[in-house]
């Protein structure tokens, strides 16, 4: 039983080693430039996200009378968005 398991592990390692260049190919390379152009800090999409966040924070602050929470939520959302965009590479 252990011999079969050893052969299976070695065969799996060989298959993964052979297919590694194919697995490393970036299938979304063509769309990266389009996404970077549309989600840049100067784009309309980024401005729309900011305005939507600001509007929802204002509405939340108005309806709940919790302006500190609304402003904190907006700031947290903007920090998250900027951090996520930096991690993704936008």
Domain boundaries, the chain: 2-88
Helix extents (H) in 1-90? 2-23, 29-38, 44-64, 67-88
- On the question of pLDDT at 40 being above 70, the answer is yes
Q: What is the pLDDT of residue 27?
A: 73
- pLDDT by residue (tens digit) across 72-85? 999 998 999 888 88
- Spell out where 1-90 has E strands: none
């Amino acid at each position: 039983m252990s011999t079969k398991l050893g052969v299976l592990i070695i065969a799996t390692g060989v298959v993964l080693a052979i297919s590694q260049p194919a697995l490393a190919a970036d299938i979304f390379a063509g769309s990266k430039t389009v996404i970077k152009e549309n989600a840049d800090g100067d784009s309309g999409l980024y401005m729309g996200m900011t305005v939507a966040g600001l509007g929802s924070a204002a509405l939340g602050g108005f309806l709940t009378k919790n302006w500190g929470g609304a402003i904190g939520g907006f700031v947290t959302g903007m920090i998250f968005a900027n951090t996520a965009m930096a991690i993704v590479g936008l």
